[in-house]
Structure 1
Amino acid sequence: MVMDREKQRQRYIAGTEGAPPVPPPGGYRGAKRQQSAYASPTPAASIYSAGETAAAAIEKKPSSVFSRVVLVVAIVFAAILLIVMAAGGTDMLYGVTMFALQLVVLGLVIATLFTARGRMLGSIALVVTLLFNVATVGGLSALRTSAAGAYDGMKSDEQKHEEAYPGIKGTDPQEALDQQSVEEVRAAAAELFADIRAQVTAEFGYEWVQVGDEDLRPERNGYGGESMLYEFATESWATTEPIHDYATKVAIMDLIGQIVVDHGMYGLYAFNDPSVSSIDPSVMTKLYGSDDPRTQHTWESYTENYPDPMRFYADIYDLSHDSDGSFQRTREAQNTRTGEPLEGLQLVVIASAVLQDADRDAFEKKLEEYPGFD
């Protein structure tokens, strides 16, 4: 027993040169264990929060007087542009003065952007300048005056005087006074239509329907303005049934030719008939579908009562000769616009440069301001 303990002791101290023995694995039973490292101390809380520190670091600087002045200048200039636009001054907006002022304002705004204390107000002034400038406001003004027809441009007093000419350039105004008026054309056309409808119905049995209403449009005077004369188009009349038979077409046109002569007009001239028409056959084919009346989808005849202004048209539309369907599409589109039948005979009267009875005295008085005009 003693020997065993001595051997154990010798084993612990062998080769250690007096060093204390190494503790057994797991340490001695009942011995207190010490932490290998101390826990790091909790850092002290910051006296100031991050926001308070940043706020304290910022030094507030007021905007510069220069930037305020530039902003006011930009706003005032924008207001001037809008006032000029409202007054219809399109020419003034595009004048040299406005362009020069615009460049000055833009230069001031750009200069403000390069100053630290004026950058914010300079940015606002830049936005105002980009929204309201000579280009944008001038464009709006041009559209406004164009839509209203109030653009005078840089016209001289002489040009403005010419614009108010009551007649038509190149036409003797006395012709408008000597020929039929709008009211006389309307009455003559109504009588002509009634006679044609009655005789065609009596001989061929076709019924009729009115298509559209009359149209009265001011004629341009050739000097940039409107004259006191009108282009007058009557309502149209159309048969309610198609006319496909060639012999029937010829007979109807012959009958109408006799009627228009009875009403003081010349005989019918058939644009689509190559035997009398001066239209080139290739052009005739494009217009009427063929240069042969037997296979044409359109017959068009015309007459007038010169020197009076009435022009009478009688057309026959026949979809049975539409080879590719294109003419039918054209007629369908026309039917959608006016409600007229797709096929059949149609009549209309048009008169140009005619004067209304109510305007006759004013027309003659206005002409006194234009001696030598024609």
Structure 2
Amino acid sequence: MVDPKRTRYLAGTEGAPPVPPPGGYHGARRTAAPVAAPLVSTAEAPAEKQQANAIGWAALLAAILFALTLLGALLAGATGLIYGVTMLTLQLVVVGVVVAALFTARGRALGASALIIALMLNVATVGAASALQTSASGSYSGQKTAEQKHEGAFPGVKDRSSSEILAQPSLEEVREQSDATLAEIRRRLSDRFGYTWTEVGPEDLRPERNGYGGESMLVQYISVPWATNEPVQDYERKLDVMEVIDEVVTERGMYGMYSFNDPSSSLDSTILQKFYGSSDPRTQHTWEWYTDNYPDPLRFYAVIHDLSNDPAGELRAEREADSAKTGEPLEGLQIYFLAPELLSEADVEEFEERLQEYPGS
């Protein structure tokens, strides 16, 4: 046993650290026990609200004002103003403010709202709606000068003299001539081949543009189209049919018939293949013949659809769609007249009066 006077180790405590001497080691300091941090209830500490900064409000206000300006221009039909340099510049400014707000923590929420408004109402979307509205209503005069408005009311057609318009056959004369010619063609083909006929649709009159952004007093005339109820499929029969038609139109002062679908035409073989199904008239699903009475405006078309030469069914699908709209036969011969820029006899007096505002026309 170790002498207790020479050491302070206790028996049976091997490995334990030595007991400090009375009063502790020289120079040692006591360390205060750590004190736990006070617990704070989250329920008693309301979260501080982040207030949006000025740039966020500025972005939202700018987007709203810009959207209201666009809507005002839309209601006024001012398509030119919407697509103007000023409006595009303002939109860039609004976009810049919105982007700046999105990059600030306190303005991000308002910036996001401004972005939504800018995406819904901008020059592209509102301008497109305004253009459609203007096109549908014909209200193009909002941004025109007085001179442009005056030109837009020109009753004739640009680069065409009024004397030429007044000297040509009237709408009524062209209608009478085309109706008589179509009736004679139908009569001869019925007598020779026994064809019966269906009136495909009504006569069509379409206003002609005057070349200055407005409508003239002239119209494009499309006669009542007629179609055979019977198909015309045999190659020799097609030639015979066109020969009868050629006799009728030449008797009435028109030129001989011209075949667009024939290889002797100026059309390339790839074009013939695309429009008529083949470059060989014997296997073509469509024949298209034409003539006119230039310098008079009358133009005549004779078209034969032959589904027996349509193995792929492409023509049939097109013809079925047309038949569903007009009730016309799927195949056979169709004949009609077209004449552009005609003046009605009932409009001659007004036409001449309005021309007095345009010296030299």
Task: Name the TM-score, length of structure 2 as normaliser.
Answer: 0.70
Query: What is the CA–CA distance in structure 2 between the aligned matches of 1:295 and 1:90, rounded to whole Å?
Result: 51
Paired residues for 1:195-234 under 5 Å: 195-234=184-223
Per the TM alignment, residue 164 of structure 1 is displaced from its structure 2 partner at its CA by 3.1
Q: 1:53 aligns with which of 44, 58, 70?
A: 44
Q: How does 1:188-199 map to 2 (within 5 A)?
A: 188-199=177-188
| Change in 2 beyond 3 A, CA 1:65/1:144 | closer
Q: Distance in 1 between matches of 2:101 and 2:271?
A: 72
Contact 2:201-2:326 at 8 Å conserved across structures: yes
Moved more, 235-244 or 258-267: 258-267
Q: Secondary structure at the match of 1:170?
A: coil
Change (3 A) 1:105 1:266: closer
Judged with a 3 Å threshold, the aligned counterparts in structure 2 of structure 1 residues 77 and 296 are, in CA distance, closer, same or farther, namely: closer
The yes-or-no answer on 1:126 pairing with 2:114 is: no
Q: Does 1:186 align with 2:179?
A: no
Q: 2:290 aligns with which of 288, 296, 302?
A: 302
Residues 167 and 229 of structure 1 are in contact (CA less than 8 Å); yes or no, is this contact kept in structure 2? yes
Find the counterpart in structure 2 of residue 256 from structure 1.
245
What SS does structure 1 have at the residue aligned with 2:347? helix
Aligned mates of 2:219, 2:226 — CA distance in 1 = 22
In structure 1, what is the equivalent of residue 334 of structure 2? 346
Tell me which amino acid in the other structure corresponds to 2:130. Answer: T
Equivalences, count: 318
TM-score w.r.t. the length of structure 1 is: 0.68
Tell me, yes or no, if the aligned pair for 1:211 and 1:340 is still in contact at 8 Å: yes
Cα distance, 1:153–1:242 mapped onto 2, change above 3 Å: same
Task: Find the residue that maps to 2:205 and give its secondary structure.
Answer: strand
3-state DSSP of counterpart to 1:279: coil
Unaligned residue ranges in structure 1 (runs of 5+): 1-47
Deviation, structure 1 residue 297: 3.4
Q: Which region of structure 1 is more displaced relative to structure 2, 85-94 or 140-149?
A: 85-94
Q: Which amino acid aligns with 2:154?
A: Y
Deviations 1:121-147 (A, max 9, x none): x55653453244599332233223311
The answer to whether the 8 A contact 2:70-2:126 is kept is no
Partner of 1:235: 224
Question: Deviation digits for residues 254-294 of structure 1, max 9, x if unmatched?
Answer: 222222234343333334455xx542572674244455544
**Sequence identity of aligned pairs in percent?**
48
User: Aligned equivalents of 1:311 and 1:207: distance in 2?
Assistant: 24
Instruction: Assess, with a 3 A threshold, how the Cα gap between structure 1 residues 158 and 135 changes in structure 2: closer, same or farther.
Output: farther
1:172 correspondence with 2:164: no
Counterparts of 1:269-308 in structure 2 under 5 Å? 269-273=258-262, 277-280=264-267, 282=269, 285-286=272-273, 287-290=275-278, 293-308=281-296
* TM superposition shift of 1:309: 1.6
Partner residue in 2 for 1:140? 125
**Residues 267, 133 of structure 1: alpha-carbon distance in 2 compared, 3 angstrom cutoff:** same
Describe the shift of the 1:229–1:263 C-alpha distance in structure 2 as closer, same or farther (beyond 3 A). same
Relative to structure 1, the CA distance from residue 244 to residue 127 in structure 2 (aligned partners, 3 Å threshold; closer, same or farther) is same
**Alignment partner of 1:312 out of 284, 297, 300:** 300
Task: State how far apart, in whole Å, the 1-side matches of 2:62 and 2:123 are.
Answer: 19
Task: Tell me the equivalent position of 1:9.
Answer: none
CA distance in 1, matches of 2:140, 2:251: 49
CA distance in 1: counterparts of 2:281 and 2:353, whole angstroms: 51
| Inter-partner Cα distance in structure 1 for 2:289 and 2:54 | 81
